[in-house]
Amino acid sequence: MVYIGGQDKPADATPGECPFCAVPARSDEDGLVVARGEHAYVVLNLYPYNAGHLLVCPYRHVADYTDLTSDEVVEVAELTRTAMTVVRAVSAPHGFNLGMNQGAVAGAGIAAHLHQHVVPRWAGDANFLPVVGRTKALPQLLSQTRELFAAAWPGTHAAPTTSTEDDPC
């Protein structure tokens, strides 16, 4: 309800207000970053539709999929594919919803910075809580989920936990 009420939404569409531009400068643990690539990174959604809901975000502050460079498109796709593999190994979902909401009218909560949703799904994962209680029960803290996914991510055990590069936005 905090997110729906707008409490944590950016005040405007600039990189300075963008949470997806701020996350890479934080430690992996503090930012809930699961993996980092050269052009994009994978982070747990703070307001997940389901347990293990990941976002694949380019570092560059860009709103539209057609504005991504070829290298960004490839890396977003590769990170999405790896995210599915990791989530399957850790959480054994029955399926996934993948998608990008392009523009506020299409449902993008933060329309100014493109992000790909990777939402694990299980048979029967919808119950009375979202309908009656307007909430979703998650079986694990986000920090615990991040730790499990990061540990299972291939080839990242030696990756730094903080970004020392200039702000990519």
- Return the DSSP state at 169: -
Q: Which pair of tokens denotes residue 19?
A: 């949470």
Q: Which pair of tokens denotes residue 10?
A: 């950016």
At residue 137, what are phi and psi to the nearest 5 degrees?
A: -85, 125
Alpha-carbon span 128 to 78, nearest angstrom:
35
Check the annotation: does 101 bind a ligand: no
Please report where in the chains the tokens 């990174």 appear, as a residue: 41
Q: Annotated active-site positions, please?
A: 115
Those residues with Cβ within 8 angstroms of residue 149's Cβ, 6 or more apart along the chain or in another chain: 34, 35, 42, 44, 52, 54, 83, 86, 87, 90
Check the annotation: does 97 bind a ligand: no
Q: Which pair of tokens denotes residue 161?
A: 């936990």
Q: Which residues are annotated as a binding site for substrate?
A: 45, 117
